[in-house]
Structure 1
């Protein structure tokens, strides 16, 4: 280091010139975990991936992080009596090297003890179904995190606080106290709005969240619009794992009015649904009684008993305003005359949606495709509510809702570019295409294009656009509005 002193009319100026020497290398590392938890996989992994290496420069930030990681592992795996036996950096400036020593004693690992809940209207037997651990198992904070996530993801609780009582450990067992703050026992739903596909619409509903203390739910919901209306009653029973599965019995009636047909129906169904990670699935059995007509054909009545398997996959980089992601939906259904039905049919449909954002320019690329196939001897015998159609805001924009079809085969595709212009507002341009038919499917492809304005709000994407069916001459532009998740 060199120092200079300069005098000026304003005073003195001191200048220090520092020439750094070579980085201090590490010549020896002792990183050891002792005690009953020395073979715990997390401690073994800590030693295997110790951030400092012999021959590499000393980095005190990595040294402190290595110690912090030990304490974090001990806390999350229940080594509450753990302690640092030795942590030392020795530096020899004469020989110019450093040695690092960390010796950590784990102490015993506790086990889960008794779990208690604050008083609520839920039966304790029901609440215990959410637990991801059992008394006597080795303590693992990850299991507490999964337990809390299950409580939060359900629709029953406004807040759940899980408190391991470290100061009350007895006989190597830690008691767990869970504070439950339920949501209101009744939830009301009211809504008025306008949709491109529905016209003016209104919604009214009520949900009872906890019937009998075991988490049974009853839902009543009515929807009315210019074109389609429905009423639905659902009784939902939590499954063995109430955070992820349920059994639903439902009865509903609906009225369908669209350019390609009209229908009135009643439907009784029972369904088992399960969620697992990014996957959701539902298996249902339904009885359908429907009076319908397709276009100008006379009204037909039919009864069907049919199972349906519905599978979805959903993956995004973040829940709120994702930058990239994919969703896949697939549905398999069918009926047999031999089993209380008036016709034989099988049907498969799938929808794939993707989102990718080019970060430097904040350009969002959205792609959607849909495929469907129905096998049936006479398409007229399939109820309107089960027919394949395209057209509308979520299908082929520029065409009215379900105006393309029906047919045995369905193919749709959509590509949209959204460019950020200010804050959460984007300018968009899109092109949609779709066909529904029996033979010569791509002889006439229905295409709709247009621009739009997009707002990425806290409750989802809101998009207002105009679209024109360019393959259908003399078709006026239509206003298209949609709201909800982009995937």
Structure 2
């Protein structure tokens, strides 16, 4: 028996219109019951539904009969009319769940107030027997492998396949999902041209048919930008990266909006590709609201690595004369204060930007105090998943011991160097800033020459990896990092090119940069080789049977620093903690036990960094 796509429920307004005249004419004054005999709650009758759980829940929420319990002064004729209409209403509602042959009985039971009992035996649920998905438009006979793949993905991803129970909700959802997949790429004007759910009620079988009209393939045209005032007009197109002639892709449009709002130049951005425009060159309409020219941010914080912290950040989005952005940061804390300024140009047609950075820092590592200087000039490109950076860098470091112990430059990390570097970072996580699966990989390669004392060449490499693997309960986070600086033993490398580790985000259970190369009298200096590993189990904390935004943590971190690979000796920290998946990223509080020092440390960190 064919049925329409949407089961029509009994209009409540029409029933109410039928009842009003009767209620007005059927109550003569002599027949009116005494006011004292009326129930306290004013209801004319009660309704009890006896049905399986899923059907009972639906009927209690949507059965029209329940709406008229509060209508006063219903006579017997009006009540009988409601019962007749209610049976039809029950069958229509059960049809939305896939039950087209139910047994429905509505009886009246005696009491101080009439009670209508709706008894339902749903019978066997209708099951989808076959599905026919047809196409018309450009997608129908296309031989382009990408379009063929899209067509097959719509068919294979159909949400209501053969063998699954039919319901109106599932049928509507499956059609909507198929239409979204059609319109997600190329076919902006895609629509449903026909659909049919053919129900064989006696056999409890459903045959589904859907026809999708893709329309033509849409390609992007020129970008039309509104809202530009203070910033370079080229910024929008170069940040959005939606080239004219490319095929329409909804995800790319969304990512372009995110790039614009995340650039710091715009407070909001809205991108529209009109389906009524020319498919061969559909204009890309961009509306932006520009951010303020300058921004000042003051911050106060506390970290278990460096203690209390005060920070000041100033951004000027368009410097006079050159039009570059200037970002200046000043951070004051006990162990790692620094001052830094970076100038960044606007991206070129390929997305590459020039950058100039200067930084001065002070690092307190036990009794060793390092004064570091850095100057960097280079170019970088940031994409949705991959960042690339190529630069020339000067590093300088002077080191002194607060204990007065004399140390050689090679031991302490005093020196200077000039290097050429390439950095590649790939982030393949599901969501940011709080991912639950995926991985990230970072590679740093550099080669340079020392400038202090005898000039010596050196090479530097660092590889970082972080993976998140979902489990049946929670997820497993694995982290690894390895670094090496290759040079002659006598080479005076600056400490800023060498390695130390330990602290909140590296090896918990140890102090900030506490792990390094052992020096005389218990000092710890930087080393040429680094190895760090971590295993962490993140188990969601449940509330009311539902996963909350909090995870419990169990972890083991290990790390080692040495001047020779053969001298690497890992130290271990184990611990537990709590993680909150906040809007700004993970907030972690943990207690870790350092196996080597045999003591506990509290660790606190904010944000996801890779």
TM normalised by structure 1 equals 0.78
State the Cα distance separating 1:373 from its structure 2 match.
1.9
State the Cα distance separating 1:415 from its structure 2 match.
3.3
Within 2, Cα distance between the matches of 1:453 and 1:67? Answer: 40
1:431 aligns with 2:556: yes
The answer (yes or no) to whether the contact 1:305–1:340 under 8 Å persists in 2 is: no
1:408 aligns with 2:517: no
SS at match of 2:508: coil
Within 2, Cα distance between the matches of 1:480 and 1:71? Answer: 45
Alignment partner for residue 595 of structure 2, among 470, 474, 480?
A: 470
1:183 corresponding residue in structure 2: 291
1:160 aligns with 2:269: yes
Within 1, Cα distance between the matches of 2:549 and 2:204? Answer: 55
The answer (yes or no) to whether the contact 1:375–1:408 under 8 Å persists in 2 is: yes
Alignment partner for residue 307 of structure 1, among 389, 409, 420?
A: 420
With 227-236 and 150-159 compared, the bigger mean Cα shift is at: 150-159
1:399 corresponding residue in structure 2: 510
Task: Name structure 2 gaps, 5 residues minimum.
Answer: 1-100, 518-525, 543-547
Task: Name structure 1 gaps, 5 residues minimum.
Answer: none
Within 2, Cα distance between the matches of 1:170 and 1:486? Answer: 43
With 273-282 and 420-429 compared, the bigger mean Cα shift is at: 420-429
State the Cα distance separating 1:118 from its structure 2 match.
1.2
1:234 aligns with 2:339: no
Q: Deviations over 1:351-392 (max 9, x none)?
A: 3333445453x4x54433332222222356111222222333
Within 1, Cα distance between the matches of 2:426 and 2:394? Answer: 27
With 249-258 and 319-328 compared, the bigger mean Cα shift is at: 319-328
Alignment partner for residue 374 of structure 2, among 267, 276, 293?
A: 267
With 295-304 and 17-26 compared, the bigger mean Cα shift is at: 17-26
The answer (yes or no) to whether the contact 1:391–1:400 under 8 Å persists in 2 is: yes
Within 2, Cα distance between the matches of 1:415 and 1:409? Answer: 21
The answer (yes or no) to whether the contact 1:424–1:455 under 8 Å persists in 2 is: yes
The answer (yes or no) to whether the contact 1:33–1:106 under 8 Å persists in 2 is: yes
1:209 aligns with 2:317: yes
**Cα separation, partners in 2 of 1:192 and 1:342, compared to 1, 3 Å:** farther
Within 2, Cα distance between the matches of 1:24 and 1:203? Answer: 62
Q: Deviations over 1:387-434 (max 9, x none)?
A: 222333333333332232233322233334455556444444443332
Within 1, Cα distance between the matches of 2:234 and 2:287? Answer: 15
The answer (yes or no) to whether the contact 1:205–1:220 under 8 Å persists in 2 is: yes
| Larger fraction in helix | 2
The answer (yes or no) to whether the contact 2:433–2:607 under 8 Å persists in 1 is: no
RMSD over equivalenced CA pairs, Å: 4.5
Aligned residues: 479
1:481 aligns with 2:592: no
The answer (yes or no) to whether the contact 1:162–1:179 under 8 Å persists in 2 is: yes
Q: Deviations over 1:25-80 (max 9, x none)?
A: 56x96835257975276478537854599998996968764587468736963575
Within 1, Cα distance between the matches of 2:427 and 2:191? Answer: 41
Q: Deviations over 1:191-221 (max 9, x none)?
A: 2233233233321120112346997211111
Within 1, Cα distance between the matches of 2:342 and 2:329? Answer: 9
1:346 corresponding residue in structure 2: 459
Larger Rg: 2
The answer (yes or no) to whether the contact 1:412–1:435 under 8 Å persists in 2 is: yes
The answer (yes or no) to whether the contact 1:288–1:303 under 8 Å persists in 2 is: yes
Within 1, Cα distance between the matches of 2:279 and 2:205? Answer: 47
Alignment partner for residue 373 of structure 1, among 484, 487, 497?
A: 484
1:250 corresponding residue in structure 2: 357
Alignment partner for residue 46 of structure 1, among 146, 151, 170?
A: 151
Within 1, Cα distance between the matches of 2:433 and 2:189? Answer: 37
| Larger fraction in strand | 1
